């Protein structure tokens, strides 16, 4: 949010700023806006709302943003091709562009029962302690760290992943019943033999990318200050930082991106996605994603070394880092205000921390801003039902990184079929809450005991963020 | 969020005379938009007359006439794109008219080595060759090709590359695929693709004719809609809502639209991306090789909004109160440097146009982007640099008249 500063109105500026930033605000909550989505003619169409540059990004940076967006959105092709900057897809891959899973640069659509997964990946590993290594897990010997369900001509896709849902009923305190769907994963058409018997599989839906540059600018000290590994303060919440390998820095750093906070930076996250999801090598990850037994994969022609050059990787990283945090999609009215109090009553803010302070960013306009992402970027045990039983670096099979909640109200407006939680099982925010267990069990119980009015106020608040 | 209180503050502290000038500039902006869209409509109707003639009696001359009409129709439309950014009524609507890049295999036959978007169910659909399609279990009846049906097929199965309508779909139907890569030559479709009976080439000439008829009709209909949104003297259209608000906000939209088209869209998406990728897939008007004109008239559109003037397709010159006037009143020196920046862009893009249009050994845009084409690459790089400088000038102009905040300060903002 910003106001025009004009000559002659300086004396009024204080009053204007007050009116813009809204009424009362407690120290730790997001400032309440008066009619934030005011019917201004400049409004961006809803579908593209999460694909806009940060409002404070300088106009001059629009070239970088546009180039990054193009390489994020447009499809990569098989090598060799006349499109040499965009060739090198595969040989094994899940998607042909970033945008094929990140719908409108945001989250993916939930899996349809019985159909091949589209906006997802399935991560693979075998048990064993690799917490201090460089990969963070031990790859499945024949299939590697991820199942690629597509391939270029002459190479066999690794297999197919399908989700089937079964119904689970949650009975709330007022006897209201909510039907949830429990996913179960089937892998078939495996082309490279059986997987090892105790393979660990983790289904991951493409997450939203809102405000990542700001989250990257939050200092490690701040995150560590919140970590409470042994629950010393006895509140039932024991957030942990995931220590992961930073390829560029060649040392351990705190992970903050990905469903288990397994990536330390947007650049590494982006290079990782190009490598594993598109089969595109980069300066950061130079190898192809073929395992030892995937011989045709190894022998296929590649699109140069690396397949995405550093300049373009940086452009895509720039694009992702500068995606804006949108204005609220839902007006913060009386219901939302009451919902905010309920959010705190239920203790949601213990992990979904409203306010963070961004430190220095390599993008100066993102530096030193107070932000309201509603996350602590730490790992928490969310219980058996959500557990994927697959560890990565320090995150165990029951732990997940607190998902940011900003912009949540836009999700279904951008694409009605989007999914929530790591595997997209939740069709809406309430379902997502009702799946919380482990450290969040107590909060969930409080929500289950609310009256239905209270629950709608809570949801109205969450969707106004 | 914009602060409405500013308007109030202006009434107390600002000069009423300045506010009145700003309102006149805002109104002239709406007049320009109206004239540009009206020209886009007039030339689209001329295109429709030409395609109707081609379809009634296919001939080489008829095809040439239709191609010429298409190029003429692009002249006002490309000048209209500056209205897209900041005006949601345009931004929400324009995809159906100018979406790009497109997977032409969705529409018609393509060469056997056609490289399409892998995994895109629509990429090889060839709507012209079939009367129904099954997408994810849903059967779509395509036996009658209507404007509404074609519009509904855009972004089929979720892929943005599935573009069934608009200028580029028509361009493909008139020119065909450009199979020359970054070498000389445009699409080379024969007029016989529209012949009846045994003279038909490419198969399904009747459906191809129906497609061209429907897609051209849709273009005309869409432009009628946009002309109405900007027409003066109407209640409840976009123009009336825009001008009823704070005129400062309109100036903000004007400057935002100019900067966004100059830098993000033209310098970034259309010039820099194609230069980085060295790929005709990233060329804007790739079937007709008319890209140089497309870029040139984009830049002209930006200049029009700044100068408050526009030369209509009938030669008539429209001119009124402008941003340039406001800048000149506040800072004559800025006015001179800003104008110089616009003129540099025009000059650089004129070089691109001249090189592409010269009678002997012309170099089209898809050749200029070729890897190792130093002369061509330089023409594009020079244009990008001029547009970057022009955007800086637009920011300077904004600062000079205290309008908008294209580059807001970074201190203490919360959201």
Domain boundaries, given as residue ranges, for chain A: 2-462
Residues of chain A contacting B1 with CB distance shorter than 8 Å: 1, 20, 33, 36, 38, 40, 327
The structure tokens 């849903």 sit at B138
pLDDT of residue B115: 66
- Full-model pTM: 0.82
pLDDT of residue B23: 96
- For B311, the enclosing helix (H) or strand (E) is strand B309-311
Q: What is the mean pLDDT of residues A164-174?
A: 96
Burial class (CB in 10 A: 0-12, 13-18, 19+), B309: middle
A21 shares contact with chain B (CB less than 8 Å) = yes
Provide, rounded to the nearest whole percent, the portion of chain A with pLDDT above 90. Answer: 72
B406 shares contact with chain A (CB less than 8 Å) = yes
B105 shares contact with chain A (CB less than 8 Å) = no
Q: A37 pLDDT band (50/70/90 cuts)?
A: very low
A18 shares contact with chain B (CB less than 8 Å) = no
Q: B18 pLDDT band (50/70/90 cuts)?
A: low
Q: Reduce the DSSP state of residue B181 to 3 states and report it.
A: coil
pLDDT of residue A17: 30
Separation in Å, CA of B200 to nearest CA in chain A: 32
pLDDT digits (tens, 9 = 90+) for A238-287: 899 999 999 999 999 999 999 999 999 999 999 999 999 999 999 999 99
A60 shares contact with chain B (CB less than 8 Å) = yes
Q: What is the mean pLDDT of residues A427-437?
A: 98
Q: Within 13 Å, how many C-alpha atoms sit on residue B273's CB side?
A: 29
Comparing alpha-carbon positions, the chain A residue that sits nearest to B11 is A9
Comparing alpha-carbon positions, the chain A residue that sits nearest to B272 is A67
pLDDT of residue A414: 87
Residues with Cβ within 8 Å of residue B385, at least 6 apart in sequence = B348
Q: B321 pLDDT exceeds 90?
A: yes
A10 shares contact with chain B (CB less than 8 Å) = no
Residue pairs spanning A and B at CB distance below 8 A:
197
Q: What are the tokens at B414?
A: 């919360």
Interchain pair A365, B248: CB under 8 A: no
Q: What is the mean pLDDT of residues A61-83?
A: 86
Separation in Å, CA of B407 to nearest CA in chain A: 5
Q: What is the mean pLDDT of residues A199-215?
A: 97
B88 shares contact with chain A (CB less than 8 Å) = yes
Nearest to B379 by CA among B390, B389, B367: B367
Residues of chain B contacting A74 with CB distance shorter than 8 Å: 101, 281-282
Q: What is the mean pLDDT of residues B303-311?
A: 98
Rounded distance between C-alpha atoms, residue A38 and residue A54, angstroms: 19
Highest mean pLDDT among A65-74, A362-371, B104-113: A362-371
Considering only residues A306 and B121, tell me which one the structure prediction assigns the higher pLDDT: A306
Q: A442 pLDDT exceeds 50?
A: yes
B410 shares contact with chain A (CB less than 8 Å) = yes
Q: B320 pLDDT exceeds 60?
A: yes
Window 148-177 of A: residues touching B by CB (8 A cutoff) are 150, 152
Q: A44 pLDDT exceeds 90?
A: no
Q: A96 pLDDT exceeds 60?
A: yes
Q: A180 pLDDT exceeds 50?
A: yes
Q: A14 pLDDT exceeds 50?
A: no
pLDDT of residue A433: 98
Separation in Å, CA of A448 to nearest CA in chain B: 31
Q: What is the mean pLDDT of residues A12-38?
A: 36
pLDDT of residue B187: 93
Q: B316 pLDDT exceeds 60?
A: yes
Q: What are the tokens at A244?
A: 């992961």
Q: What is the mean pLDDT of residues A339-368?
A: 96
Q: B309 pLDDT band (50/70/90 cuts)?
A: very high
Which of A9, A15, A57 best probes binding to B when mutated, by most B CB atoms within 10 angstroms?
A9
Q: A305 pLDDT exceeds 60?
A: yes
Q: What is the mean pLDDT of residues B201-215?
A: 97
Q: B8 pLDDT band (50/70/90 cuts)?
A: very low
Q: B352 pLDDT exceeds 50?
A: yes
The pLDDT mean for chain B works out to 89
Interchain pair A2, B408: CB under 8 A: yes
Q: B231 pLDDT band (50/70/90 cuts)?
A: very high
């Amino acid at each position: 949010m910003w106001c025009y500063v004009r000559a002659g109105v300086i004396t009024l500026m204080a009053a204007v700023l007050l009116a813009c930033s809204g009424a009362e605000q407690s120290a730790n909550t997001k400032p309440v806006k008066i009619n934030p989505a005011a019917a201004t003619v400049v409004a961006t169409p809803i579908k593209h709302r999460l694909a806009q540059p940060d409002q404070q990004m300088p106009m001059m940076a629009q070239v970088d943003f546009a180039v990054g967006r193009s390489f994020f959105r447009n499809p990569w092709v098989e090598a060799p091709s006349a499109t040499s900057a965009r060739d090198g897809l595969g040989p094994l891959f899940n998607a042909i562009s970033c945008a094929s899973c990140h719908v409108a640069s945001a989250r993916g659509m939930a899996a349809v029962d019985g159909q091949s997964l589209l906006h997802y990946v399935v991560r693979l590993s075998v048990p064993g302690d690799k917490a201090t290594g460089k990969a963070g897990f031990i790859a499945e010997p024949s299939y590697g760290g991820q199942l690629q369900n597509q391939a270029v001509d002459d190479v066999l896709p690794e297999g197919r992943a399908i989700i089937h849902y079964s119904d689970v009923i949650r009975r709330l305190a007022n006897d209201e019943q909510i039907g949830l769907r429990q996913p179960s994963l089937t892998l078939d058409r495996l082309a490279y033999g059986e997987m090892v018997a105790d393979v660990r599989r983790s289904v991951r839906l493409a997450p939203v990318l809102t405000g990542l540059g700001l989250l990257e600018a939050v200092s490690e000290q701040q995150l560590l200050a919140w970590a409470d590994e042994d629950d010393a303060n006895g509140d039932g919440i024991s957030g942990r930082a995931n220590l992961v390998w930073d390829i560029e820095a060649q040392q351990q750093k705190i992970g903050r991106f990905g469903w288990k906070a397994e990536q330390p930076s947007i650049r590494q996250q982006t290079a990782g996605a190009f490598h594993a999801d598109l089969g595109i090598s980069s300066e950061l990850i130079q190898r192809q994603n073929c395992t030892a037994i995937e011989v045709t994969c190894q022998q296929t022609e590649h699109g140069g070394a690396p397949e995405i050059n550093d300049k373009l990787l940086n452009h895509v990283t720039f694009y992702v880092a500068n995606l804006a945090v949108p204005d609220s999609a839902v007006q913060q009215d009386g219901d939302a205000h009451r919902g905010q109090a309920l959010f705190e009553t239920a203790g949601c803010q213990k992990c979904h921390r409203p306010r963070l302070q961004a430190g220095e960013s390599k993008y100066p306009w993102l530096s030193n801003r107070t932000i309201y992402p509603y996350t602590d970027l730490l790992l928490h045990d969310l219980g058996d039902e959500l557990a994927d039983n697959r560890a990565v670096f320090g995150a165990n099979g029951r732990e997940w990184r607190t998902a940011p909640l900003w912009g949540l109200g836009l999700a279904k407006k951008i694409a009605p079929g989007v999914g929530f939680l790591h595997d997209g099982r939740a069709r809406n925010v309430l379902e997502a809450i009702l799946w919380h267990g482990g450290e969040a069990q107590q909060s969930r119980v409080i929500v289950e005991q609310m009256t239905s009015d209270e629950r709608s106020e809570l949801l109205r608040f969450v969707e106004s963020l | 969020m914009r602060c409405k209180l500013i308007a109030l503050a202006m009434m107390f502290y600002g000069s009423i005379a300045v506010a009145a000038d700003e309102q006149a500039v805002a109104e002239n902006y709406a007049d320009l938009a109206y004239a540009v869209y009206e020209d886009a409509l007039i030339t689209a109707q001329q295109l429709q007359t030409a395609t109707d003639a081609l379809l009634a009696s296919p001939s080489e001359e008829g095809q040439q006439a239709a191609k010429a009409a298409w190029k003429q129709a692009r002249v006002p439309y490309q000048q209209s794109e500056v209205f897209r950014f900041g005006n949601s009524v345009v931004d929400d609507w324009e995809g159906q008219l100018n979406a790009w890049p497109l997977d032409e295999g969705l529409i018609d036959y393509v060469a056997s080595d056609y490289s399409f978007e892998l995994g895109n169910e629509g990429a090889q659909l060839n709507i012209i060759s079939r009367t129904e399609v099954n997408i994810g279990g849903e059967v779509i009846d395509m036996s009658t090709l209507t404007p509404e049906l074609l519009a509904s097929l855009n972004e089929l199965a979720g892929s943005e590359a599935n573009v069934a309508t608009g200028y580029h779909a028509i361009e493909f139907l008139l020119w065909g695929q450009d199979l020359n890569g970054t070498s000389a030559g445009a699409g080379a479709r024969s007029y016989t693709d529209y012949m009846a009976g045994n003279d038909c080439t490419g198969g399904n000439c009747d459906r191809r004719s129906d497609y061209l008829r429907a897609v051209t009709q849709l273009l005309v209909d869409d432009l009628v809609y946009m002309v109405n949104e900007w027409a003066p003297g109407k209640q409840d259209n976009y123009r009336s809502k825009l001008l009823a608000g704070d005129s400062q906000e309109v100036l903000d939209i004007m400057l935002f639209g100019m900067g966004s088209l100059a830098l993000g869209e033209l310098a970034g998406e259309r010039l820099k991306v194609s230069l980085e990728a060295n790929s005709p897939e990233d060329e804007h008007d790739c079937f007709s090789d008319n890209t140089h004109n497309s870029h040139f008239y984009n830049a002209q559109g930006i200049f029009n909004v700044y100068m408050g003037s526009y030369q209509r397709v009938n030669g008539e010159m429209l001119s009124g109160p402008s941003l340039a006037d406001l800048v000149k009143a506040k800072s004559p020196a800025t006015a001179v440097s800003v104008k110089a920046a616009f003129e540099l862009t025009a000059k650089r893009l004129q070089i691109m146009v001249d090189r592409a249009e010269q009678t002997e050994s012309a170099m089209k845009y898809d050749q200029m982007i070729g890897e190792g084409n130093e002369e061509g690459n330089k023409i594009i790089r020079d244009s990008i640099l001029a547009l970057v400088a022009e955007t800086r000038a637009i920011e300077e102009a904004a600062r000079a008249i205290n309008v908008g905040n294209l580059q807001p300060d970074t201190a203490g903002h919360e959201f």
